[in-house]
């Protein structure tokens, strides 16, 4: 068997190439590199395996993983286990879509342009906003872009952003990274009973605050009082930015109805598997007055010279297309394929289906919360929740999750991994896919472990 198992090259090929360039060996090709920086010994790499053995080896490693396909999972925190209609893969697997690039030529890109337009339309309807862009990388970066956009708005010129501590900690980290560039200040507002402390917000907000950033439902599953937050923001002349799970808006009043200026989030709940690290699909919705400040691109509807409906790239406010000093963002792509997956999933659900699935998330989480309380498990911040809530398991969550695995259950998120959080607090998520039997199994296992 050839030493170069995965390369279409024989030893004779190697010999002929060396002869052609006038070298006696491969080592001679590196003669110009000083010996002092050359490795003295061969790298400690095991011999190459034949393809069949290599596949078996990696399969054995894969078998060590714990999968949500085989065990009920109560993990959430921004990556959720939802049903994905079979039509999603069927549509996004078409080569016209999965090989598509930026639709610069509308004459040959009507399918891709219409798919993006439909995504924008559905996001605008779900969030209650005037318009949405063609998508962002993910929910966290969309939130960061929203903060920078608010601060750079010509009518604002303010240098401070207030972010609720009930926003996802990793999202806050991303926002902090983004605002460091333009020299903006990011100040955190404390929480009270698992939601934004309105009193603390009122004391902190001033005329230098460009926007107040909240999450709805928040990181802990709590339902923020957007009406009161909007009132405080408006009195100070600041924008209200809301990071929202779009599926939850099937039962919750959309942020746009509370007067939100910008609504962002992640459409992973619609047709995108819960994958380690992504990819996801962010969305960015706003008011019409802010349309020209929106990062990325917008697809618009028009008519051709024959009066036929068509779609075109309407706005592209990035530095590749306009003057750098006029650009609103350096985002160089969108998540068009994942946006299409979300569009197909939302279409398959429809308005009635969206509400039904959202309601199932709400009801099943409430059933789990009640069952845990009856089992003697402490519910932290026992207020209104969507499909996530925090429990106190009384011991290190990492140990509890290891024990839950032995009971055939994937536990919730260990909040102790985040600064300022308690090591005994677990964020539990219950989606429509969790059955009563699985929830009861989770409760019983926790009761036994405790």
**What is the chain's Cα-based Rg?**
26
Residues 146 and 251 in one domain: yes
Residues 109 and 238 in one domain: yes
Tell me how far apart the alpha carbons of residues 72 and 415 are, in angstroms, rounded to a whole number. 20
Average pLDDT over residues 36-59: 88
Reported as a single tens digit per residue, the pLDDT across 195-237 is 999 999 999 999 999 999 999 999 999 999 999 999 999 999 9
Tell me how far apart the alpha carbons of residues 275 and 280 are, in angstroms, rounded to a whole number. 9
**Structural domain contains residue 67:** no
Per-residue confidence band for 105, with pLDDT thresholds at 50, 70 and 90: confident
Q: Is the pTM of this model over 0.95?
A: no
Average pLDDT over residues 64-73: 88
- Answer with the one of 314, 345, 376 that is the final residue of a domain: 345
**Structural domain contains residue 63:** no
In 77-225, where does DSSP find H-type helix?
Answer: 86-92, 95-98, 110-127, 139-152, 169-180, 198-204
Residues 356 and 341 in one domain: no
Residues 150 and 293 in one domain: yes
- Answer with the one of 300, 322, 345 that is the final residue of a domain: 345
User: Residues of 68-82 as b/e, b for ≥16 C-beta within 10 angstroms?
Assistant: eeeebbbbbbbbbbb
Tell me how far apart the alpha carbons of residues 326 and 314 are, in angstroms, rounded to a whole number. 16
Reported as a single tens digit per residue, the pLDDT across 111-142 is 999 999 999 999 999 999 999 999 999 999 99
Residues 298 and 403 in one domain: no
**Structural domain contains residue 419:** yes
Task: Write down the pLDDT at residue 2.
Answer: 46
- Answer with the one of 301, 322, 345 that is the final residue of a domain: 345
CATH (domain of 335): 3.40.640.10
Residues 305 and 441 in one domain: no
Residues 105 and 217 in one domain: yes
**Number of domains observed in the structure of the chain:** 3
Task: Write down the pLDDT at residue 319.
Answer: 52
Residues 322 and 373 in one domain: no
Residues 189 and 247 in one domain: yes
Task: Write down the pLDDT at residue 155.
Answer: 65
Range of the domain at 24: 11-55
For the chain, the first-to-last Cα distance in angstroms comes to 57
Task: Write down the pLDDT at residue 215.
Answer: 98
Residues 165 and 26 in one domain: no
Task: Write down the pLDDT at residue 6.
Answer: 66
Residues 143 and 262 in one domain: yes
In 3D space, the residue among 128, 428, 172, 399 whose CA is nearest the CA of residue 287 turns out to be 128
Tell which wins on pLDDT, 432 or 323: 432
Per-residue confidence band for 331, with pLDDT thresholds at 50, 70 and 90: confident
Tell me how far apart the alpha carbons of residues 98 and 80 are, in angstroms, rounded to a whole number. 23
Residues 144 and 162 in one domain: yes
Angle at 214 between CA 338 and CA 361, to 5 degrees: 60
Q: Dihedral sign for Cα 122, 126, 131, 137, please.
A: negative
**Structural domain contains residue 222:** yes
Average pLDDT over residues 43-58: 88
* % of the chain at pLDDT higher than 90: 77
């Amino acid at each position: 068997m050839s030493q170069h198992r995965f390369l279409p090259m024989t030893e004779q090929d190697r010999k002929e190439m060396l002869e052609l360039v006038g070298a006696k060996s491969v080592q001679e090709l590196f003669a110009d590199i000083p010996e002092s920086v050359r490795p003295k010994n061969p790298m400690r790499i095991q011999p190459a395996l034949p393809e069949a053995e290599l596949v078996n080896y990696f399969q054995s490693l894969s078998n060590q993983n714990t999968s949500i396909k085989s065990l009920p999972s109560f993990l959430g925190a921004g990556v959720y286990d939802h049903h994905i209609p079979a039509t999603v893969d069927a549509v996004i697997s078409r080569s016209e879509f999965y090989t598509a690039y930026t639709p610069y030529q509308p004459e040959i890109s009507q399918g891709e342009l219409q798919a993006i337009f439909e995504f924008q339309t559905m996001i605008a309807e779900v969030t209650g906003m005037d318009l949405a862009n063609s998508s962002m990388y993910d929910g966290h970066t969309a939130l960061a872009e929203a903060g920078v956009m608010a601060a750079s708005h010509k009518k604002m010129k303010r240098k401070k952003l207030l972010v609720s501590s009930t926003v996802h900690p990793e999202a806050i980290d991303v926002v902090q990274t983004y605002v460091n560039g333009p020299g903006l200040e990011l100040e955190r507002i404390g929480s009270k009973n698992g939601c934004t402390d309105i009193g603390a917000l009122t004391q902190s907000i001033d005329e230098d605050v460009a926007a107040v950033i909240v999450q709805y439902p928040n990181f802990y599953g709590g339902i923020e009082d957007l009406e009161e937050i909007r009132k405080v923001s408006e009195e100070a002349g600041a924008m209200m930015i809301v990071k929202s799970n779009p599926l939850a808006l099937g039962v919750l009043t959309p942020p746009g109805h509370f007067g939100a200026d910008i609504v962002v989030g992640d459409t992973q709940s619609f047709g995108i598997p819960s994958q380690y690290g992504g990819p996801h699909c962010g969305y960015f919705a706003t008011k019409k007055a802010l349309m020209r400040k929106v990062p990325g691109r917008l697809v618009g509807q028009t008519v051709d010279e024959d009066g036929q409906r068509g779609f075109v790239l309407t706005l592209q406010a990035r530095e590749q297309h306009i003057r750098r000093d006029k650009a609103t963002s350096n985002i160089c792509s969108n998540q068009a394929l994942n946006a299409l997956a979300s569009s197909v999933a939302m279409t398959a659900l429809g308005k009635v289906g969206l509400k039904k699935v959202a309601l199932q998330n709400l009801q099943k989480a409430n059933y789990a919360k009640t069952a845990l309380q009856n089992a003697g498990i402490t519910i932290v911040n026992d207020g209104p929740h969507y499909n996530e809530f925090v429990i106190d398991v009384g011991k290190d969550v990492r140990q509890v999750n290891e024990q839950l695995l032995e009971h055939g259950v994937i536990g919730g998120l260990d909040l102790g991994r985040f600064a300022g959080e308690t090591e005994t607090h677990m964020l539990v998520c219950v989606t429509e896919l969790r059955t009563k039997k699985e929830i009861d199994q989770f409760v019983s296992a926790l009761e036994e472990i405790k």
